[in-house]
Amino acid sequence: MKSSRLFTAASIAALLPISAVFAQSPTPPAEEPAQPAQQGATFESLDANSDGRISKDEAAVNASVTAQFSKYDKNGDGFIERDEVTASNTAPPAKPGQ
């Protein structure tokens, strides 16, 4: 009986350092699901300085907006104004060959 208690105590003592390692190991971060590039990209969220227009620097926070910057900057002044966005989003799609 005494040897069985000794064996149990030794086993527990041997496992304590291992349990401490597991207790201190950080949990790996869960992978976040892929989100569409446009999610959360509103005119207001991109217009960081609230001047009513989006500069190339402000657009740089969203890869999709950066890629389409020239499409929205109709007058070529280096800024996207709200009316340019509205015009781009409401215009009929261009027909091929035109």
Quickly tell me which residue has 């215009």 as its tokens: 91
Contact 27, 53 (CB under 8 A): no
Q: Which range of residues forms the domain containing residue 80?
A: 43-90
Answer yes or no: is 49 within a domain: yes
Q: What is the pLDDT of residues 10-38, one digit of tens each?
A: 555 454 454 444 445 455 565 554 444 44
Answer yes or no: is 80 within a domain: yes
Residue 35 DSSP label? -
d(CA 58, CA 40): 14
Answer yes or no: is 71 within a domain: yes
- The structural domain count of the chain equals 1
- The CA radius of gyration of the chain, in Å to the nearest whole number, is 29
Q: What is the pLDDT of residues 43-88, one digit of tens each?
A: 899 999 999 999 999 999 999 889 999 999 999 999 999 999 888 8
CATH code of the domain containing 71: 1.10.238.10
Answer yes or no: is 23 within a domain: no
d(CA 61, CA 41): 9
